[in-house]
Amino acid sequence: MLKQTGNSKLKVIPLGGLEQIGMNMTVFEYEDSIIVVDCGLSFPSDDMLGIDLVIPDVTYLRDNIQKVKGFVITHGHEDHIGALPYVLQDINVPVYATKLTMGIIEHKLKERGMTKSTKRKVMKYGQSVNLGCFRVEFIRTNHSIADAAAFAIFTPVGTIVHTGDFKIDYTPVFGDPVDLPRFAELGKKGVLALMADSTNAIREGFTMSERAVGRTFDRLFEENKDRRILVATFASNVDRVQQIINSSYKYGRKVVVEGRSMVNIIGIANELGYIKIPDSTLVDISQMNNYPPEKTVLITTGSQGESMAALSRMAADIHKKVSINANDAIIFSSTPIPGNEKAVAQVINELSAKGAKVIFQDTHVSGHACREDLKLIYSLVKPKFALPVHGEYRHLMAQADIAQEMGVPEENIFIMRSGNVMELTQDSAQVTGNVTAGPVLVDGLGVGDVGNIVLRDRQNLAQNGIIIVVLTLDRHNSELLAGPDIVSRGFVYVRESENLMEEAHTVVEDAVQKCLDRKVSDWGKIKAVIRDSLSDYIWKKMKRNPMILPIIMEI
């Protein structure tokens, strides 16, 4: 244990990754040192109209920039690295990660021209890095992407073990099994707190090995040898792609990779040696029609029903190079992320309507630890305090139950919220306050410029439409010179509602005339009168409430 000075306490501050799956980011602070574990994004919910990404609010880091020593990253999934290009613009400190994770991060930084300005260090398992008064050791774990790491964070008040996203896989497709002996050694020496992945804490049993899916692929390729096969999976699941390639090679099929993120990650993994592709197995999508359909396999993105992903475009007949037909077998090698079920069902229905055979049984195993795996980690690490992370509230609660079952006293288990400040000493833990935390919305190149008010306007526009009233006034003589003209979008189809629009025109004209007769010269008041009178008329007539935007021009 590093030397403690005075009565200082270790602060653990999650800025994301609780209350939801995604946007993982946790701050560790002791006196004048801060390290940050992960820097992820989440994807917008249905009510975030037009939003591309959601990243954590890093106001706290910005306010304490002189203390921040670096980011340590557990693995290369978007919900753990996706916010880095945005956050590093404000908090430009070194990034530490394993080889494949760093390869994916570097690709993101290259796209934004940030590789020269960002200091990076590739870490190996068993290596440690000293950051201020912290020492962080990288520990081998397994996950649905290679090179995942857990951290032993050595602090002046004790050791914190952070698992990152993990599973226990004794027969991984690439690399070695999780380093359970190291977890046991740390447990023997004494662990102050365990921060473990809660995603599958509600699932009984053990998580199956990734190799189980390989056996399923072999069977499905045998059963569908007369069909073209399309496999939809997560772009980042390199081991899954490896097994699809293995089965394709075994059955003499050529492989096409489609979807921008899939092409990028497979390219990086191939370059760094994390995937082995036999010579002449991979062909470009433009060459696909040179081979019989039953001798090709298409690996694609879109397993979550994302509207612009390759598979969704194929299902909707708007993909430029691939058309779905009745002799296709489409394998969904994933399970829907909570909230995506409807979108996935929609894509499956569209594919089925084209006569394609859709397969989704036994084609996926999770990358997250189930209850028995979590029990094993608790039995090895023997933490004094349990701080469940990575999951919705129900997942965190499920892990709290496991911790109690494994002997952690109830008063030593804490379900935190994003922004909570947890203060730890060798003997105590308590939430002592809150810092600014929450979602920052990214829309195009704008970061944080779309807030609740803009979203509310977008929802109003989406649900009710807009009416724009344009008129020209002579300010000196209080005369209406032109208009009012009424333009409508998303409210009614104007050509079929001429009477309504004529009456609306009269209502506005009367309202404006009344203002002019009363010598009202304040445009704000005239606009308010127009808005109120037209809104009342439309509500009485249609029971609708469109956004009304008066525009007054002056001559």
Is residue 427 annotated as involved in ligand binding?
A: no
> What's 176's DSSP letter?
P
Q: In angstroms, rounded to a whole number, what is the distance separating the alpha carbons of residues 224 and 227?
A: 5
Tokens of 23: 């946007």
Structural contact between residues 288 and 116, judged by C-beta atoms closer than 8 angstroms: no
Strands 10-16 and 25-30: antiparallel
433 is in an annotated binding site: no
DSSP 360-397: -TT----SS--HHHHHHHHHHH-EEEE--BSB-HHHHH
Query: Is 75 annotated in some ligand binding site?
Result: yes
Establish whether 79 is an annotated binding residue: yes
Amino acid at 382: K
Whether residue 186 contacts residue 152, with contact meaning beta carbons closer than 8 Å, is answered with: yes
395 marked among binding-site residues:
no
For residue 162, say whether it is annotated as part of any ligand binding site: no
Q: Are 254 and 296 in contact (CB under 8 A)?
A: yes
Per DSSP, the three-state class of 77 is coil
Please tell me the number of Cα atoms within 13 Å of 59 on its side-chain side.
10
235 labeled part of a ligand binding site: yes
User: Is 236 within any annotated ligand binding site?
Assistant: yes
Handedness of CA 245, 248, 249, 255 (dihedral sign): negative
143 is in an annotated binding site: yes
- For residues 264 and 141, what is the distance between their CA atoms, to the nearest angstrom? 24
Alpha-carbon separation of residue 297 from 255, 257, 259, 290 (angstroms): 5, 9, 14, 13
Cα distances (angstroms) measured from residue 178 to each of 170, 424, 458, 460: 7, 28, 47, 50
DSSP-based three-state secondary structure for 215:
helix
Tell me the CB-side half-sphere exposure of residue 260, using CA atoms within 13 A: 4
Task: Count CB neighbours of 419 within 10 A.
Answer: 19
Residues near 223 by beta carbon (within 8 Å), at least 6 away in sequence: none
Cβ atoms of 279 and 237 closer than 8 Å: no
* 165 annotated among ligand-binding-site residues: yes
Asked whether residue 367 is marked as a ligand-binding residue, the answer is yes
Integer-rounded Cα radius of gyration of the chain: 29
Active-site annotation, residues: 197, 368
The rounded distance, in Å, linking the Cα atoms of 12 and 22 is 18
Instruction: State yes or no: 77 annotated in a binding site.
Output: yes
Helices (H), 78-140: 78-81, 84-87, 99-111
Is 317 annotated to bind ligand? no
Please report, in range form, the residues annotated as the binding site for Ca(2+): 50, 52, 443
Please report, in range form, the residues annotated as the binding site for Zn(2+): 75, 77, 79-80, 143, 165, 390
Please report, in range form, the residues annotated as the binding site for substrate: 235-237, 364-368
Please report, in range form, the residues annotated as the binding site: 50, 52, 75, 77, 79-80, 143, 165, 235-237, 364-368, 390, 443
